[in-house]
Structure 1
Amino acid sequence: MSDPWGETSGRAATRDRSTVPHQRGADGAPAHRPPGGRAAARQAARSKGRQSGRRAKPVARRKRLARIALITVSALILVTAGAGAWLWQHLNGNIKSVAIDDGAGGKEKADAFGRTPINILVIGSDGRNNAADCKLGGGCGSASSTVGHNADVEMVVHVSADRSNATVMSVPRDTMTQVPACKDPDSSQATAGYYGQINSALQYGPACQVKTVHALTGITVDHFVMLDFSGVVKMSDAVGGVSVCVSDNVYDTYSHLKLAKGTHTLKGEAALEFVRSRHGFGDGSDLGRTVSQHLFLSAMIRKFKSAGTLANPAKVYSLADAATKALTVDTGLGSVSKLVDLATDLNKVPSKRMTFTTMQTGADPANANRVVPAAGAKSLFAAIANDQSLTADSSKKKASASPSATTSAAATVPASEVAVRVENGTTISGRAAVIANALIAKGFSPGTSTGNAPEQSATTKLTYGPGEKAEAQTVASALGLSASHLTQSSESGLTLVIGGDWPSGTTYSSSASAAPADTHAAVSNANASTADESKTCAKVSPYKTVVLNGVAMTPAQAYAAASSKKDSAP
């Protein structure tokens, strides 16, 4: 029989018998021994040892490898966790945050499903507090506060309550408006209020800039994000450059932007020169600059959303590190987790549903070099304040969107299955019947009834029983009620008490809520565009907006005349 390791027991036994003499009994006959003899027993023992030894080695090796792997994985987990904790603390340590007055920018109102929009004031500061900003912007400052600084860029970024759309509205820096009374808690710089250029409010702190924009537009501003010169450079480098197109050769002798006609990838100082250029584009004023800034931001957003950026851990970290170092934010955004939440909300909005606009303006009667809001700006302000999308398919999207489980739950309860008891809590006769009839006309159950409330109520409220929140949201959505009007009760059934804040009409509105804005008027003359428009070029100014060697020229003429100056980007 063959040995498992390639030896034959027969040969081994023969070999053993030739070397070990047989013992004999008293009669000279071979003594009785087990079959195969001692040699065979020894051979069997050796064979067993070889078999067990050779088989044991792989098992032991596997156990050792398993232990090594376990130790290695444990070490990696500890190292990764430690690195993650270090990175988290590092990024948190990068963030500079400043408190703003409670209610400085107003208070957001939740919709019927408890969701609230987000409004952020993005501020581009012309401050030169550090060596990098001094080098990039020219001129230097030493204070760490915003005293003496102006907000050269002001954009209201609105993200809808259902996260299906967003609007970015630029407010030109040359806008004249009433700056309210402000005091910067950091510098103690204060003002009793004055009529002046809107960008000057930053001298009294970011909160003052927020209050001023809120006072001008009526738009609630929840947060602010402030970026300086070096911040623009860091952010553009972090994404590997931003691709922009210019309609003609351009040389802005003020911002130093010099580009040939066509598309370029801008990094570092070239990116800063582009977003700072006001003489190179449009009519050579801040109005033209806001449009080119929108093109730059649209391109950056597309780069953010590209798989090449978000799928690369090194790029994500580089971007996070650059962003947290570059930004000053309000304390409401003053942590990595809060910024991540904000980024997540922004990332939900498709590029084609992000609208960029510039506040409509007219010339200031007192100063031709300054502007004031035009009549059309009221529609733009109202559309943002009312959480209305400015993209063409807004009504279709709003009807079909289901961004949260709450919305889905409400959508699963048909109006025909919902009955409401409507009670009149006002002094106006017949108010309950008006609302009840309106609900039935909208398809609600004919079991909807009316009556008088036990007492008069100043506010309208809708109470619902346990497990009936979805039904209440269906009613609230039909009547235009916000989440603040909904209250859970221990008793089953839906009861709507009409309060003194709803004296007329069948759709709820308060003095703070404007009627839906005309979205066509909102974007009229507002240079509206969407973030998915990748082939749009910045329009180089055809006017003599720049000066080279003491001679007024168009930016294209200056480009030709400055052939010896290196372009900002290839």
Structure 2
Amino acid sequence: MPHESGDEHRAHPADGSAVPPYGPARVRRARRTPRSRALRYAAWGALGLALVGAGSTAYAWQHLDGNIRGTDVDAALGDDRPGHQHDGSMNILLLGSDSRAGTHGQYGTGVAGARADTAMVLHVDKTHKKASVVSIPRDTMVERPRCATDHGTTAPAAHQAMFNSSYEVGGPACTVKTVEQMSGLRMDHYLEVDFKGFQKLIDELGGVDITTRESIDDPASGLSLTKGRHTLGGKQALELVRTRHGVADGSDLGRIQLQQAFVKALIHRADTVDPLSHPAKAYDLADTATRTISADSGLASTDKLLGLGKDLKGISPAHTDMLTLPVTYDAEDSGRVLPLDKASHKVWTALRKDEPVPRSATRGSVADRTDSPVSAAS
């Protein structure tokens, strides 16, 4: 796997223009975009994991509050944050953490601790009938703010650190702070899904159906799929959402596409589960789901999660837009990307104004080029 240390503090161009892919960065030119037709149907991104199986199982969920891990983000971050949007809109940071704890060396070696393997900003508009999902590549070089650590110390601010190092340094609160500093948007909530629960959840659902338009073979993640239709169990599903070397040029942008395509397939699968017909299975799903997620203290209860899930179900697929933060190749390191400042500003400004992100914002981004090799099976 590429070097994934999040502690690089290197100088980079900071203007908003695209950096030409000179030298080793040229190998990145064939990156895949997460903006394809299929992905626009994934209304809530990673929330499909957190809320799958909820449906009519409210009674069962009342007994599962103790499963949910909560973090008081407001207390951790204090008042030095963007203000609330008082127009009825809502911003949720969705995280998929890649902690190796309990995996006995699986899913990558030589990487200690936990990182924000997947990060999506879900913006729900003031009518709660439209949404935008912005994926932030974990390899994006950012200005990481000063953050409190779990050990009672303070991690200093870092110039041009890798985005996913924020989680390693200060957990979800530091990642929230980093996203807020990048975007100028206050995150009203965060939801996080972990490795082990993800795998178990997919197995309990009976697998998820996808179609590959080309063969995928990634020795690093362990995934090997031929072209065609597949039903993925938990282990293969986890391999898929962690795959980067088996598609395109091995970039994180290709993996983002796989993750978003899989979320669509997961939501399709979850829609087939009838909690009333299989109450025991529904309870098992609810138990796994609540053990799988962490949330801010404002969401860390089954009542609040169910309320959020019901609210988001009012958003139709046609009124959901998915995109990746506009980025360009890092001319100094082929394993990193840099935000396009002017284009990123357009994205965050649109969300702050509760407006659709203009298509011109992603034009010229290396994350906006080709189609995903995977889609939900029809």
Tell me the TM-score normalised to structure 2 length.
0.74
The residue aligned with 2:71 is 98
Against the structure 1 CA distance between its residues 84 and 191, is the aligned structure 2 distance closer, same or farther, given a 3 Å change threshold? closer
The residue aligned with 2:146 is 181
The residue aligned with 1:385 is 352
The residue aligned with 1:119 is 91
Contact 1:175–1:198 (8 Å) recurs in 2: yes
The residue aligned with 2:154 is 190
Contact 1:256–1:273 (8 Å) recurs in 2: yes
Larger CA Rg, structure 1 vs 2 = 1
| Alpha-carbon shift at residue 99 of structure 1 (Å) | 1.3
Give the % identical residues: 35
User: Which segment is superposed worse, 92-101 or 373-382?
Assistant: 373-382
The residue aligned with 2:312 is 346
Q: Which runs of 5+ in 2 are unaligned?
A: 1-56
1:522 correspondence with 2:361? yes
| Alpha-carbon shift at residue 102 of structure 1 (Å) | 4.2
Contact 2:89–2:125 (8 Å) recurs in 1: yes
Contact 1:105–1:210 (8 Å) recurs in 2: no
1:225 to 191, 195, 216: 191
1:287 correspondence with 2:253? yes
1:539 to 351, 373, 377: 373
Counterparts of 1:525 and 1:238 in 2: how far apart (Å)? 41
Aligned residues: 310
User: Which segment is superposed worse, 362-371 or 219-228?
Assistant: 362-371
| Alpha-carbon shift at residue 307 of structure 1 (Å) | 5.0
| Alpha-carbon shift at residue 96 of structure 1 (Å) | 0.8
User: Residue by residue, what CA displacement relative to the aligned partner does 1:141-190 show, whole Å, maximum 9, x if unpaired?
Assistant: 9xxxxx93221111111222211111221111111111111103x33242
Contact 1:151–1:200 (8 Å) recurs in 2: yes
Counterparts of 2:274 and 2:126 in 1: how far apart (Å)? 27
| Alpha-carbon shift at residue 309 of structure 1 (Å) | 4.2
Please state which structure has a larger fraction of its residues in helix: 1
| RCO higher in structure (CA 8 A, sep ≥6) | 2
User: Residue by residue, what CA displacement relative to the aligned partner does 1:326-385 show, whole Å, maximum 9, x if unpaired?
Assistant: 011111111001111111111111122222211111123443321111132222222222
2:107 to 109, 119, 137: 137
Against the structure 1 CA distance between its residues 316 and 386, is the aligned structure 2 distance closer, same or farther, given a 3 Å change threshold? farther
User: Residue by residue, what CA displacement relative to the aligned partner does 1:481-521 show, whole Å, maximum 9, x if unpaired?
Assistant: xxxxxxxxxxxxxxxxxxxxxxxxxxxxxxxxxxxxxx121
1:334 correspondence with 2:300? yes
Counterparts of 2:121 and 2:236 in 1: how far apart (Å)? 25
The residue aligned with 1:207 is 173
Q: Which amino acid letter does the alignment assign opposite residue 326 of structure 1?
A: T
| Alpha-carbon shift at residue 104 of structure 1 (Å) | 6.4
| Alpha-carbon shift at residue 284 of structure 1 (Å) | 1.1
Structure 1 residue matching 2:298: 3-state secondary structure: helix
User: Residue by residue, what CA displacement relative to the aligned partner does 1:392-415 show, whole Å, maximum 9, x if unpaired?
Assistant: xxxxxxxxxxxxxxxxxxxxxxxx
The residue aligned with 1:167 is 132
Counterparts of 1:234 and 1:537 in 2: how far apart (Å)? 29
Counterparts of 2:346 and 2:184 in 1: how far apart (Å)? 11
Against the structure 1 CA distance between its residues 155 and 337, is the aligned structure 2 distance closer, same or farther, given a 3 Å change threshold? same
Counterparts of 1:316 and 1:241 in 2: how far apart (Å)? 15
Contact 2:108–2:220 (8 Å) recurs in 1: no
Q: Which amino acid letter does the alignment assign opposite residue 381 of structure 1?
A: W
Counterparts of 1:288 and 1:328 in 2: how far apart (Å)? 26
| Alpha-carbon shift at residue 263 of structure 1 (Å) | 1.9
Counterparts of 2:80 and 2:225 in 1: how far apart (Å)? 42
User: Residue by residue, what CA displacement relative to the aligned partner does 1:213-236 show, whole Å, maximum 9, x if unpaired?
Assistant: 111122221111122211221332
Structure 1 residue matching 2:335: 3-state secondary structure: strand
1:257 correspondence with 2:223? yes
Query: What CA RMSD, in Å, does the superposition of the two structures yield over aligned residues?
Result: 2.7
Against the structure 1 CA distance between its residues 117 and 259, is the aligned structure 2 distance closer, same or farther, given a 3 Å change threshold? same
Contact 1:220–1:385 (8 Å) recurs in 2: no
Q: Which amino acid letter does the alignment assign opposite residue 361 of structure 1?
A: V
Q: How does 1:393-408 map to 2 (within 5 A)?
A: none
Counterparts of 1:97 and 1:202 in 2: how far apart (Å)? 15
Against the structure 1 CA distance between its residues 307 and 236, is the aligned structure 2 distance closer, same or farther, given a 3 Å change threshold? closer
User: Residue by residue, what CA displacement relative to the aligned partner does 1:119-149 show, whole Å, maximum 9, x if unpaired?
Assistant: 111122121223xx336435599xxxxx932
Contact 1:154–1:172 (8 Å) recurs in 2: yes
Counterparts of 2:206 and 2:352 in 1: how far apart (Å)? 35
Counterparts of 2:58 and 2:262 in 1: how far apart (Å)? 32
Counterparts of 1:381 and 1:231 in 2: how far apart (Å)? 32
The residue aligned with 1:107 is 83
| Alpha-carbon shift at residue 248 of structure 1 (Å) | 1.1
Q: How does 1:386-535 map to 2 (within 5 A)?
A: 386-390=353-357, 519-524=358-363
Against the structure 1 CA distance between its residues 84 and 289, is the aligned structure 2 distance closer, same or farther, given a 3 Å change threshold? closer
Q: Which runs of 5+ in 1 are unaligned?
A: 1-82, 142-146, 391-518, 530-535, 541-570
Contact 1:127–1:149 (8 Å) recurs in 2: yes
Q: Which amino acid letter does the alignment assign opposite residue 91 of structure 1?
A: L
Counterparts of 1:159 and 1:256 in 2: how far apart (Å)? 36
Q: Which amino acid letter does the alignment assign opposite residue 354 of structure 2?
A: D
Tell me the TM-score normalised to structure 1 length.
0.50
Contact 1:236–1:267 (8 Å) recurs in 2: yes
The residue aligned with 2:202 is 236
The residue aligned with 2:235 is 269
Counterparts of 1:219 and 1:528 in 2: how far apart (Å)? 23
